[in-house]
Structure 1
Amino acid sequence: MKSILVAEDEGAIREFVVINLKRAGYTVYEAENGKKALELFDSLQGDVDIALLDIMMPEMDGLAACRELRQKSPNLGIIMLTARSQEMDRVSGLMIGADDYVTKPFSPSELVARVDALYRRVEMNGNKPKKAASEEIVSGDFVLNVRNRTLSHKGKMIELTHVEYQFMECFMTNPGKALGRTDILNKVWGEGYFGEEKIVDVNVRRLRMKIEEEPSAPKHIITVWGLGYKWQA
């Protein structure tokens, strides 16, 4: 069962979103603000695949809800709904754990495509690939366990979201290779992704904060000016 929690305070927009997600085969749970979304998530015992959170909501906004939901569940897929004027909020949402964002106004096809893309990653994480337990990608002191979809550095586990794991898989399977932002988008989100290339930069910033000793002077995820990034151990 594909399930999604929708938190949006504007009734007309919430109804529009719910109708289209139900048509796409999702079981939808509705909340009119962040506080209600958290209460509903807890009442469902976290049995939700994706949360779709509007940023501007009363009682508890989408950013605060995102932060708490991510603490409750590292495996939950999270998408932020934002206005075009909320670029800093979009960046903030990604930095605190959101996987993606959709900018208003949006078409039903765009919304469903973005939700479907994230759901596939969530499902892949829940139904781990059937590979040998020893299957790992080793790069220097970093070990990416393909079966468990985990990353460790010098034996210490580093908690990753779905998107962050796929970034690391993309980097560590292409050591030393300069990867363009479009290449990374296609590898992580798939062909035909509706989003902007800047989402790559934000996720790289977030990853650097987790894996680099000095995020402002990275030694592993290196910027290739005018193109994108490359990985070195």
Structure 2
Amino acid sequence: MDVLVVEDEVLLREVLTESLEAAGLQVAGAASAEAALEAMLAHPGQPPPPVLVTDVNLGRGCMDGFALVAELRHRWPALGVVVMSGYAPNLARCVALAPHERHLLKPFAPGALVRAVHELVSPVIASSR
């Protein structure tokens, strides 16, 4: 798997997943931060996907996208992350943009997501060869 997409809105998660798959990436989806965390920790010893794409506001659980990123970065500091939000002040909370992080303000074109993910996943795949 190249990308894990975390989005609580089913239709949007499907569109994001389809856009990334059309670009040749292997994608899995999760409806909540808790489900994403469970999926990432389900196979100990197996590396995580190179990129996490997450919405900030994930309505179903206790964790938001920022908490998910913090938890996963604690375990995998080099994890590529694309943070999405429809609310600009959410992205303003991201004080420093790390080299392996991108932010997208909704609405955005599918091509913007594909470009952001490719920027993050390409170096990881190249370094693993």
Per-residue deviation, 1:69: 0.8
Per-residue CA distance 1:65-90 (angstroms, 9 max, x = gap): 0100100101210110111x333x21
Moved >6 Å (runs of 4+): none
Question: Is structure 2 residue 117 aligned with structure 1 residue 115?
Answer: yes
Higher relative contact order (CA 8 A, sep 6+): 2
Q: How does 1:19-34 map to 2 (within 5 A)?
A: 19-34=18-33
Look up the match of 1:7.
6
Per-residue CA distance 1:103-143 (angstroms, 9 max, x = gap): 1111111111111111123335545xxxxxxxxxxxxxxxx
Alignment size in residue pairs:
124
Q: % of aligned pairs identical?
A: 29
Report the RMSD for the aligned CA atoms in angstroms: 2.1
Look up the match of 1:210.
none
Larger Rg: 1
Which stretches in structure 2 are left out of the alignment for 5+ residues? none
Query: Match of 1:119, SS?
Result: helix
Q: How does 1:215-226 map to 2 (within 5 A)?
A: none
Q: What is the distance in 1 between the residues matched to 2:40 and 2:95?
A: 20
Q: Is the 8 A contact 1:4 1:51 kept in 2?
A: yes
Per-residue deviation, 1:27: 1.0
Higher strand share: 1
Q: What is the distance in 2 between the residues matched to 1:26 and 1:94?
A: 29
Look up the match of 2:70.
67
Q: What is the distance in 2 between the residues matched to 1:11 and 1:91?
A: 26
Look up the match of 2:103.
101
Query: Match of 2:2, SS?
Result: strand
Per-residue deviation, 1:46: 3.6
Task: Evaluate the alpha carbon distance shift between residue 99 and residue 18 of structure 1 in structure 2; reply closer, same or farther with a 3 A threshold.
Answer: same
